[in-house]
Amino acid sequence: MSTKTIAGVEINVNEEGYMTEISEWSKEIGAEIAKEEGIELTDKHYELIDFIRNKVTAGEGLTIRGIGKSGVVNAKEFYQLFPGAPLKKATKISGVPKPTSCI
């Protein structure tokens, strides 16, 4: 466990760079982490980040299938918004723990 200064704020992160305190997140922090991942956040990204944060706060698991049925994006759009490893990148940017799902 360590800390990191992002967007002028000190936040707690784990060794992989995932935030460990969901409440420390802000839009600015999300945008900075996204930049590190090579992503410029749009309104659509933020809409999805909201969905992800709400899901995690409610204690529900995240899957690509679930996000594809979120009503915000379908699976294909999700891959386009967060290219490469979408679930990992989206959760990292959303300030929630790395998902443990296999699907």
Q: Contact between 86 and other proteins (CB under 8 A)?
A: yes
Q: Contact between 84 and other proteins (CB under 8 A)?
A: yes
26-65: contacts with other proteins (CB under 8 A)? 61, 63-65
Which of 4, 7, 24, 79 is in the footprint of other proteins by CB under 8 A? 79
List the structure tokens of 30: 């999300």
Q: Provide the phi-psi class of 94: left if phi over 0, else alpha when psi is between -120 and 50, else beta.
A: alpha
Of 11, 7, 13, 12, residue with least CA distance to 27? 7
* Residues with catalytic function: 102
Give 3-state DSSP helix, strand, coil % of the chain, rounded to 5: 50, 10, 40
Report, in Å, the least distance between residue 47 CB and other proteins: 19
Residues in the site for other proteins, rule: CB under 8 A? 61, 63-66, 68, 74-76, 78-79, 83-88, 102-103
